[in-house]
Amino acid sequence: AQKVTQAQTEISVVEKEDVTLDCVYETRDTTYYLFWYKQPPSGELVFLIRRNSFDEQNEISGRYSWNFQKSTSSFNFTITASQVVDSAVYFCALRGNSGGSNYKLTFGKGTLLTVNP
């Protein structure tokens, strides 16, 4: 069975602070994909990143960075110098690569990030 845990329900920071959103996953698949999505107050789900399980290289995109640690089954997301526009619910998701898990996404419950001016 696939499982994604986002232990932080809500995080509140002041603008320009760095913030890290945690994601821990469980899967029996040897190959899998991890994702982060952003859900702003307007409600849409915006794709941010996909990471393959065989590629443990960390990634940076502007103020966003992702730390994939296979040894601890974690895929954490850091926003550097946060801005008010970063306020949203962030979801981590997992897609397996075998049997009944090789197409659907399993989402965590999300972390509500509030960035205050």
Partner 1 sequence: GAGVSQSPRYKVTKRGQDVALRCDPISGHVSLYWYRQALGQGPEFLTYFNYEAQQDKSGLPNDRFSAERPEGSISTLTIQRTEQRDSAMYRCASMGGYNEQFFGPGTRLTVL
* Interface ranges with partner 1 (CB under 8 A): 4, 33, 35, 37, 43-47, 50, 91, 93, 95, 100, 103-110
CB nearer to partner 1: pick between 47 and 69: 47
65's CB contacts (< 8 A; 6+ apart) are 58, 59, 77, 78, 80
Which uninterrupted H or E stretch holds 47? Answer: strand 46-52
Find the shortest distance in angstroms from Cβ 4 to partner 1.
Answer: 8
Distance between first and last Cα of the chain: 41
CB nearer to partner 1: pick between 37 and 68: 37
CB nearer to partner 1: pick between 67 and 107: 107
How far, in Å, CA of 101 to CA of 2, rounded? 8
